[in-house]
Structure 1
Amino acid sequence: MDEAWAAEVASHATGPYLFVAEAVLSCLHEPGVREVIDLLADHFPGALLAPGTAGLGFFDTQEQHDVLSKVMTRLHWHCPAPPNWPTGGRGTSTRRHTPSPACPRTW
């Protein structure tokens, strides 16, 4: 959420940009998520963002989860559909992916 890194990267690169936020945005409350998306939209116009999120039911069971129950971090935000926030950024599609045991390990 610190603008310094964004300004530094933007001053040395021209894009295209792809930001992957796996297991990051879910730990923020929605205003923080909006702040991150605004920061990316302001400094990297046209960038793509691939956010990792969890389903709503996952949030209700964090205390029983085999890993989440052992860490202090809690999940606060989920994205059931691409947000259409007034930053100029807009979601274009969603993909849900859960690896299947049938997928080869090298995949």
Structure 2
Amino acid sequence: MMLDLYAASCEGQDVCLSSLCLASSVAPSTAMRKINDLITRGHIRRMPDPVDGRRTNVSLSPRTFRFIDDAIAEVIEEAKVVAGAPPDGDDSHGPAGVS
């Protein structure tokens, strides 16, 4: 659920509560319990849909978005190291690895 919300936020898309429940691949009651827990903990925000008052949208809190964004950046940097590429900001090898 959190990665779905992260991806939607990166793409500037709204996510309605019912869609998030369906995407979770668990029973709706289980999904709602988890969503309510994440709301209580401050990881997810719930707000009315500005276009359709019958719907409720959910999104990551700014703090949780930054946490996930930083974690993904760390994984990408680690993957570069494992693959033998220099980490971002390492210009010691010059262009195309030429010293």
Output the TM-score relative to the length of structure 2.
0.25
Structure with greater Cα Rg: 2
The structure, 1 or 2, with the larger RCO (C-alpha pairs under 8 Å, 6+ apart) is: 1
Q: Give the structure with the higher percent helix.
A: 2
Output the TM-score relative to the length of structure 1.
0.24
Q: Give the structure with the higher percent strand.
A: 2
